[in-house]
Amino acid sequence: MDGGGDRRVFFRDAFARVARVMAARTERRVAPRRFFRPPGALPELAFLAACTRCSACVDVCPVHAIHKAAADAGFAGGTPILEPNLLACVVCVDMPCARACPTGALQVPRDGWAGVHLGVLTLDPDRCIVFHGAACGVCARVCPVGERALGLDAGGRPVVRPEGCVGCGSCVTACVTAPPSLSLTLEEDG
């Protein structure tokens, strides 16, 4: 390739990267993610456009963790949401909620649960009783993902592994402290 061709490729690739970043920033401003979505949800703007509010995912959730956003939630009104800090997703092996979606607003990721991150888990050691000398470990025992997401160190203290955590909320709802020592926050769309 001549020097002009290399330059065109460079500028084309640079422009494409800038366009992707600008599109993501615009999407976050136009349709900020305000709710935890069921597993396999498209990025927020695409999800809002694809979801018909049919309730198919709500109906198949075995623990009724999925419910509809209130009508006063703007564009998100009537769309399926989770509140994993209050009622955990149980990480169904076959992801029935995503499989039930007729429009593709929810899709089973190619890599299954490994590709799901509903939220970001944080641990507050000041609240966790293990950091104050008590034995516990209930959070690690109830984690459906296991050591890949949440384990215990040699001293029995919880160790959060964000890269493996799906954000289901099982550990949060099982935590024995009030308020829980663990919490989930929303993760921005990539």
Neighbours of 159 (CB within 10 A): 12
CATH class of 117-185: alpha beta
pTM of the model: 0.79
142-156 per-position pLDDT tens digit: 999 999 999 999 999
pLDDT for the residue numbered 190: 45
The neighbouring-strand residues paired with 182 are 123
69-112 per-position pLDDT tens digit: 999 988 899 999 999 999 999 999 999 999 999 999 999 999 99
Q: Which residues contact 87 (CB under 8 A, 6 or more apart)?
A: 63, 64, 65, 169, 173
Question: What's the burial of 187, exposed, middle or buried (CB within 10 Å: 0-12/13-18/19+)?
Answer: middle
The conformation of residue 138, written as its DSSP 8-state character, comes to: H
Domain ranges within the chain, ordered by starting residue: 1-28, 31-113, 117-185
108-144 per-position pLDDT tens digit: 999 999 989 999 999 999 999 999 999 999 999 999 9
Q: Are 64 and 83 in contact (CB under 8 A)?
A: no
* Residue 158 confidence (pLDDT) above 60: yes
**CATH code assigned to 31-113:** 3.30.70.20
CA distances to 24, 31, 130, 189 from 20, in Å: 6, 16, 44, 13
37-72 per-position pLDDT tens digit: 999 999 998 999 999 999 999 999 999 999 999 999
pLDDT range class, residue 33, cuts 50, 70, 90: low
